[in-house]
Amino acid sequence: MSPAQRKRLGRILLNTAGVLVFLYAIFPVYWMVSTGFKTNDQIFTTEFIPFPTSFTLEHFSRVLTEGVANNSIWLYLRNSAIVALGTVLIGSLFALLSATAIARFRFRGRGSFLITLLVVQMLPAEAMLIPLSVMIRRVGLGDQLLGIIVAQVAVTLPFGIWMLRTFVAAVPKTLEEAAWIDGASRMTTFWKVLFPLVAPGLVATSIFSFITAWNDLVFALYLMSSSEGYTMPVALQYFFGQKGVDWGAIMAGSTLMTIPVVIFFLLVQRRMVSGLVAGAVKG
């Protein structure tokens, strides 16, 4: 086999593997959306039905009009949006300031702090559930959306700090020194010189925080006691009943829950990819 043929074969195998990975990743999403449009007879049949033979909007209509747990579905979507956006705003601010301090200053315990960040990233959110929940309830934030935001910031902050640290460290310090010589203050230099250069990394970490907080089930379920404070993932649990599972409503609600994330991702996907790639190269 000639080198050109080997190269062509390798490209074919690589493309085939890429297609298989894509199908493996997209199939659950397709099954979720298609099941939301199927009738109950098609959902609970023992036969494999890849495409709905007859479309129905019954499940979407029921979720949108009847709601869940005597509350409108829009209430849960609003709560999820508040938690996700609050996590992004607070987490991004703390991550950027912390990353700047770590990248620009040398202080005792800096190396140990970075190692701690790596260790915390390896821990699942469930491992921090009890200690975080106890602290949040003791400060009076239990059964409040702010308590969920605090928990999500604690979960996503290590990744944000580690990611943004590479961006800040890659910015030449001479740019800041030139701004200081021109009479700019540290705060002015931070916002007008450093911030625009690390914006792609900030977008990438913000999207990660948004998706993590939007999909959170554990903290929202454990911290909230009233249904008015539930987020969308918790609300969907009500369709798992003692007498059976309402898969049509679950899939319809999950589809509605996915739409805002997909729209948000499509709007910022270029910045996210460039930010992640740049962060990996700089790290």
In terms of Cβ atoms closer than 10 Å to its own Cβ (0-12, 13-18, 19+), residue 6 is exposed
Kindly give the confidence (pLDDT) of every residue in the chain, 283 residues in length, as a single tens digit, with 9 standing for 90 and above.
677 778 888 888 899 999 999 999 999 999 899 988 888 888 888 788 888 878 888 888 888 888 787 788 899 999 999 999 999 999 999 999 888 888 888 878 777 888 888 888 788 877 888 888 899 999 988 889 999 999 999 989 988 888 888 888 888 888 888 888 888 888 888 888 888 888 888 888 888 899 899 998 889 888 888 888 899 999 888 888 766 788 888 899 999 998 888 887 777 776 655 544 444 444 4
Q: Is the dihedral of CA 204, 208, 211, 213 positive or negative?
A: negative
Query: Which residue, 80, 87, 81, 88, is CA-closest to 203?
Result: 88
> Do 233 and 216 touch, CB atoms closer than 8 A?
yes
The residues facing 68 across adjacent strands are 71
Q: How far is CA 2 from CA 7, 8, 9, 15, 240, in A?
A: 9, 10, 11, 20, 59
The residues facing 71 across adjacent strands are 68
- At residue 71, what are phi and psi to the nearest 5 degrees? -130, 150
Q: How many CA atoms lie within 13 A of 48 on its CB side?
A: 1
Read off the amino acid at residue 45.
T
Q: Which residues contact 238 (CB under 8 A, 6 or more apart)?
A: 68, 69
- Please state the pTM of the whole predicted model: 0.82
Q: Is 71 helix (H, G, I), strand (E, B) or coil?
A: strand
Angle at alpha carbon of residue 156, lines to 155 and 159, rounded to 5°: 120
Q: How far is CA 174 from CA 101, 200, 261, in A?
A: 17, 21, 39
